[in-house]
Amino acid sequence: MLHFIRKITGSYNILSRRELLDKFAGRSWQAGPEESLNYASPAVFGGPVPARMLEFVKPMSLEAPFVCEIPDVELVGDTALPVLRDNSLFYEALPCGDEKELLSASLCLKKKVKVDAEYDTAFCLIKPHSRGYFHWIMDCLALLEGYEFYVKETGVKPLLIVDKELTAFQRDSLKLLGYAETDYIH
């Protein structure tokens, strides 16, 4: 096991989806088609539809999902924020909304990062709030579709990285999906 301390310093370049795919061309795979959604106005009982909900009543398009193999990434902080060797971050992995404080905590408050190990190929299932049932199912387990796509495309089976302590439902759901404890590390 390799141990060392690296200071996270300097400014951070945030790569867009397009920049990320361009930077790692040849190491990314489209994992499905672009999709369109059209949300209708919801039925509300006892009053008008809240204005905040009406913001979503419009056609929306979802970019095609992709899987990208990114070399030399460090996972920083409790939320395992991926930081590239050149201190680049990528938009797809950034916390959103009120979770921006997690980004600050990961990058500013944790100036030193202890690296316990290095892996040839790994796939991270740690996300903000991933210990909660909803976020585990929607934010983490949903990523396993991309993981399986990557395995099929490359023949490489990355090690899964999970929170240091899994809840019973996290452990059980991984087992139900066919993942053994030897398939992941904490």
pLDDT digits (tens, 9 = 90+) for 70-119: 998 888 777 787 888 887 888 777 766 444 544 554 554 344 455 567 88
Please report, for the chain, the start and end positions of each structural domain, with discontinuous segments joined by +: 1-36+52-117, 119-186
Task: Determine if the pTM surpasses 0.85.
Answer: no
Q: Which residues pair with 109 in a beta bridge?
A: none
Residue labelled with tokens 């959604």: 37
SS3 184: strand
Element housing 17 (H / E) = helix 17-23
Q: List pLDDT tens digits, range 31-63.
A: 999 999 888 887 778 888 888 888 888 888 989
The rounded distance, in Å, linking the Cα atoms of 174 and 186 is: 13
